[in-house]
Structure 1
Amino acid sequence: MYPTDLKYSSEHEWVRQPGESPDSVRIGVSHFAQDALGDIVYVSLPEIGDQIASGTAVGELESVKSVSDIYSPVTGEVVARNESLDDTPGLVNSDPYGGGWLFEVKVTDASELDSLMDADSYQSSLDG
């Protein structure tokens, strides 16, 4: 259920290295997060060029049940955003690790990636 090639944050975001370009990472939300939110009807993402900091809210996922902040697991510059979510926000539910990705960041401090959890640790954090 949680791909082993990803890293995970305690806020339920995932990070894939590399993103589309070798110096960026792709970020999305885990199956757990999208399942807890329910049907996502609107996605607010950071803009390309935005400077974002690890642990800060950078966007929102709105579902029929609630609104939840998206937290960046890394510090850097937003270099891509998933424009498909403007018209099809439900991709976050149906394909959270593929077509439902959120944005990409050119990371300024690669050591931040070392503090993220692997799939087993993330699963344990949910069970515990």
Structure 2
Amino acid sequence: MTTQEVATEMVALCRAGKWEECIQKFYSPDIKSIEPEGATWGTVQGFDAIAKKGQEWQEMVAEFHSSEISDPIVAENFFSITMKSKVTMKGLDQPINMDKVCVYEVSDGKVVKEQFFYTPMPALA
């Protein structure tokens, strides 16, 4: 698959809320995931670490209100999207908006690296 094909299909699956299917279909077993400095997870690598990160995220969310994912922008073996979500986190009374830029690197039809750019939330007391 080309980078454009991977990007288009990943966005479609994510928009449909099929996150697990997206990971299983497109992520390399050795995927490297990089969060911004000060974020909860930092850098993790591999399916197990990605699954753990996803589970921990789900456990932090009290209510998921909305999500918007942009069309991908593709250049060679990279693509980027924006993700905008409105969620209520456990321990907070009001929903918050979470916006991030996501950059993916594709090799042989698989995502080998993802990097997220956003302002990390302060730790909940």
Q: TM (normalized to structure 1)?
A: 0.32
Q: Which has the larger radius of gyration?
A: 2
Q: TM (normalized to structure 2)?
A: 0.33
